[in-house]
Amino acid sequence: MDHHRDIALISVSIDLGAGRRGVDMGPSALRIAGISREIEAIGHTITELGTVTAGGLETTDAGEHELRFLDEIVHVADETRRLVREGLARGCTPLVLGGDHSLSIGSVAAVADHYGQRDASVGIIWVDAHADMNLPHTTPTGNIHGMSLAVLLGQGEPQLTSGRTCVLPENVSVLGARSLDAGEKRLIRELGVRVFTMSEIDERGVGVCMDEAMERATAGTSGFHLSFDVDALDPRIAPGVGTPVRGGLTYREGHLVCEKAWRSGKLLSLELVELNPVLDDRNQTAELGVGLVASALGAAIL
């Protein structure tokens, strides 16, 4: 496998999809933690494609309770989609730094645009404490970052889905889930999305679960997108997240997921989201995030 890749680096500075402020500063924290230097040290080249910046909470209309900040999130998703498409058109591997998980509505759509015609032909591995599969009528908060995977599966608000399914349920896995809402559980069962809960990971091991997730993500597809929400990790090692849930992935489990993604040779694109430096302790979560991205791009122990 050719080790060198051109990496298209895109920052998406948005926290409007989240319940707590601060994840819009995630990309800055990752840059301060030396993400570009780490990626170049592996042997890759970086192309900076720019930053998408959402309007401020104070100046943006929150809109309906079920879909807070819908118009601005649609705008950010469109801009993210445009930049990721540009990176792919240049032959680069897109790396998106977030920002809340609503940005995936744009990033994954771009990957689906590039690799698919009409049919969805990319897979997703969604590493997250949450499934992000709420619908406008099931959301307990109205926060759109809790709906993004449902949107990519063609479910929910038409302004977000544009009437399109970006990925098929049989090519989607959630890894590390431990906090699911009642409406999400129903939709997961109905669509047949595979959710590897922390209980299953405890029992079977993260390596086996990741292998199965990659098998699903690559069955009949061009490859997969890795969407890594840092709240998948245990809050003791990753305190800088907006929605911490106890009992998450360990340091090594997080790295193994990323190492396996790279070794598969099927990783098309990736993103690291929901890093909240306001809640972090001396930027340790950002430093951990940089290490995870490096693992997903081929940094190896030996």
Residues annotated as catalytic (active site), given as ranges: 101, 128, 130, 132, 145, 229, 231, 274
Residue where the block lists tokens 């230097």: 37
Cα separation, 171 vs 301, in Å, equals 30
Torsion of CA 190, 211, 239, 33, to 10 degrees: -130
